[in-house]
Amino acid sequence: MRKDIEFKTEDGVTLRGWHYLPERRSGSVPTIVMAHGFSAVKEMYLDRFAEAFAAAGLGAIVFDNRNFGASDGDLRQEIDPWQQVRDYRDAITHAQSLPEVDADRIGVWGSSYSGGHVLVLGAIDRRIKCVVSQVPLASGHRNARRLIRADYLAGVQKAFDDDRRARLAGAPPAMIPVVAEDPAAPSALPTPDSWAWFTETGRTRAPSWKNEVTLRSVEMFTEYEPGSYVSFVSPTPLMMIVALGDVLTVADLALEAYERALEPKHLVTLPGGHFDAYVKDFEASAGPATAWFKRHLGLD
């Protein structure tokens, strides 16, 4: 069962999404709070994961990040990772206020950029009793060095600096495409599979998705180091799902972060690339995540 929801953040922004509940339930249920990754909106397969959780007896709160999709936000298409972390925490507070939610059995799920967010959340918010981090960003700075050619780095930094000066003078933030068909063209996510997945999924499932973000969003990506929190998640149980062919949030950095995590933890590896976790490898990603939540939120 799914219904539309909305709630306000601490700073007064309205976020919108879906609340999933199991078809058969008695009283309040353990609930997973979940949002999408870099520029993506909830229709880009988050419904499939929430449906899998609900079929297993779990509730799910799914929301669009501020500035994207159905959620409000004054600076559209801006991605501030730390603001998104704060919004996750407000979503948890909202979830705990609902009579259908067992406030003492909250899990978080994130994928890609939000896969990094849930590493931070698991470390800093002890209301969370279980974490699943799928194809996560572990290091913004090191990941950017993989995605941006070395001879382009000086030009990218100059673009950041020019944008900063222009904003200070009163200009609106510069924009950049999320993806481009030519991987050498300017874009936030310059991989061929990013172009294929975002354009196809946006066309078939998510017409609200827009192929642009502020350039400042990319600069903040390069500053964000969620993997530095991974050793602090313990004793909260952590599952990481890593796609071994991931060239976007590159697999070796995610595996390195997993090695720094303390117990209890569990690693799931997928054979494909970053976006296969949502489609081709969906059962291999959603199945273990569901089992992990059931085990650690008291449904087994």
Identify the three-state secondary structure at position 5. strand
Please calculate the CA angle 107-61-290 and round it to the nearest 5 degrees: 45
- Predicted pLDDT of residue 200: 98
- pLDDT in the model for residue 26: 82
| pLDDT tens-place string over residues 102-113 | 999 999 999 999
Q: What is the pTM of this model?
A: 0.98
Pairing, β 101-111 against β 2-8: unpaired
* Residue 285, H or E segment: helix 282-296
Q: Which DSSP category does 178 fall into? A: S
**pLDDT (0 to 100) of residue 25:** 83
Fold of 2-140+226-296: Rossmann fold (3.40.50)
Percentage of the chain beyond pLDDT 90 is 98
Nearest partner of 130 among 225, 233, 36, 35, judged by Cα: 233
Reading the chain (300 residues) residue by residue, the pLDDT tens digits are 999 999 999 999 999 999 999 998 889 999 999 999 999 999 999 999 999 999 999 999 999 999 999 999 999 999 999 999 999 999 999 999 999 999 999 999 999 999 999 999 999 999 999 999 999 999 999 999 999 999 999 999 999 999 999 999 999 999 999 999 999 999 999 999 999 999 999 999 999 999 999 999 999 999 999 999 999 999 999 999 999 999 999 999 999 999 999 999 999 999 999 999 999 999 999 999 999 999 999 997
Answer whether 88's CB lies under 8 Å from 96's CB: no
Domain-by-domain residue ranges, the chain? 2-140+226-296
Comparing CA positions, the residue from 225, 218, 219, 223 lying closest to residue 260 is 225
Could you report the per-residue pLDDT of 25-37, keeping only the tens digit for each?
Answer: 889 999 999 999 9
Q: Please give the Cα distance from 65 to 85 (Å, whole number).
A: 10
Question: Is the backbone peptide bond immediately before 81 cis, with ω within 30 degrees of 0?
Answer: no
Is the CA virtual torsion 187, 190, 196, 198 positive or negative? negative
Residues 157-178 have pLDDT tens digits of 999 999 999 999 999 999 999 9
Please list the helix, strand and coil fractions of the chain in percent, rounded to the nearest 5, in that order: 40, 20, 40
Q: 109: how many CB neighbours lie within 10 A of its CB?
A: 29
- Pick the closest to residue 194 from 249, 155, 144 (CA basis): 249
pLDDT of residue 3: 97
